[in-house]
A = this chain, B = another copy of it.
Amino acid sequence: MEQNNLIIPRKLKGFWELMPKEQILFSSLLQKLEKVFQDNCFVPLDTPVLEYSDALLAKSGGETDKQVFRFEKGDADMCMRYDLTVPLARFVAMHKNELNFPFKRYQIGKVYRGERPQKGRFREFYQCDADIIGDGELSVVADAECVGLFNKCFKALDLDVEIRISNRKILAGFIESLNKTAKNANILIVLDKLDKISPQTAKAELQEIGLTDIECDKILNLAEKRGKIAEIVQNLRDFCSNTVFQTGLDELETLGGLLENFGCENAVCALNIIRGHDYYTGTVFEGFLSGTQIAVGGGGRFENLCSFFSKEKMPGVGMSVGITRLFDILMEQNYFDLTRTNEIDVAIANFDETLAESLKIATNLRENGVKADVFYECKSFKAKLKEANRRGIKFVLIVGEDEIQSQRFTLKDMENGTQEQLSLSEIVQKIKSTRM
């Protein structure tokens, strides 16, 4: 698109891009999550954005998925990753003999989906994943660690999130007891949307699948169970004698008992938590902003990470925070105070003859962890003050020749108008103390 030989600058539709102040906030969220993962002994992984199409599309039998950005270059048929799990599987399968198990890795990275852009859905967005992969087997302690980690993520973000937990074996076992295992996926798809559709609609859909009136009521009753894990498990022991069902209860009970060891005390049992109809095989969990139906991520236990690459069984449990969507929601709810977000702590207002000294002071303050800037493009002292004010910078430091002589500088608080004469080390202390 050209106009007078100029190109109109455009961003691709559906691609996310933040303005600087928002990006400062978003980057700080990513940093907090990364710290949580590191503090919990997860190692970072940073796989390429591109993968061979045969590996990336193994799940779909190699067929081109319309939602994938796929192209050829030279003799390579490649795709942009649509999640971080398939690359993890590829990596683990390639390097199994060099890794420590259980392999605890995190990855924070962008993924790509060519879906139609719409509110809350992006073609490029961040995933923050952490997974624990076992070699052959993996105890339910890993499930508890993973839920605990998920919980810590939201604590680090200072967000009130309710974690709802289930175990897929409970519903699977009950469906098996009804001799409806062949319809398992169809039934789960209905139950997965119980928060969005009415019980009547759900029942009608289940009947269509072939469940009797009584079976519908029983399974809907089961899926509606919510409460403390230990209580739900106790109440359900006699609900169904199916072995898979009982194993699900056992696993859920063990998980529930372990959670407090990981500092997670705000998890509830909710048997309608399903997390899609395939992939997960045991524990499943999902986080919701407290008092809402706004999902902010989740995860669960899977039987075999590397099934497309290897015959060796590698069970795992993972969690994912939907940080892009979460950030959008938080922005909408004015969760962040953008006026308190500034890349500059203090603006130095100097005169022509004190420029060099002001630059030195800025360098000194920066080395001491105070973000000081000199507005060297503003022509006059007055223009510098005006610019600091316009940009909402909390402090201005006045550096004239007298101040340099005495090494005491005027620090003006632009929010309340007060000012003080301070030494540089006092300035550092003062500014750091006013931070949240």
Contact = CB atoms under 8 A, between A and B. Distances in A.
A70 B311 CA distance: 36
A189 interface: no
Nearest to A357: B261
A48 B12 contact: yes
Contacts of A15: 48, 50
Contacts of A258: 356, 359
Interface of A: 1-2, 4, 6-13, 15-21, 23-24, 26-27, 34, 38-52, 54-55, 58, 69-71, 73-74, 76, 78, 80, 89-91, 93-95, 98-102, 104-105, 110, 112, 114, 124, 134, 137-139, 141-142, 144, 148, 258, 261-263, 306, 308-311, 343-344, 355-356, 359-360, 363, 366-367, 369, 371-374, 376-377, 391
Nearest to A76: B12
A114 B73 contact: yes
Contact of A54 (B7, B20, B76): B7
B262 A359 contact: yes
A100 B392 CA distance: 12
A223 to B, nearest CB: 31
Given A262-B363, A263-B363, A48 B17 contact: yes
A6 B94 contact: no
Number of copies of this kind of chain in the complex: 2
Given A48-B124, A258-B359, A138 B377 contact: yes
A309 B8 contact: yes
A94 B306 CA distance: 44
Contact of A360 (B20, B73, B261): B261
A105 B20 contact: yes
Contact of A12 (B6, B50, B344, B376): B50
Contact of A142 (B94, B137, B376): B376
Given A39-B369, A50-B124, A76-B12, A20 B309 contact: no
B262 A9 contact: no
A51 B142 contact: no
B343 A10 contact: no
14 contacts: A9-B55, A10-B52, A11-B94, A15-B48, A27-B46, A40-B366, A41-B366, A41-B371, A41-B373, A69-B73, A73-B114, A102-B377, A258-B359, A263-B363
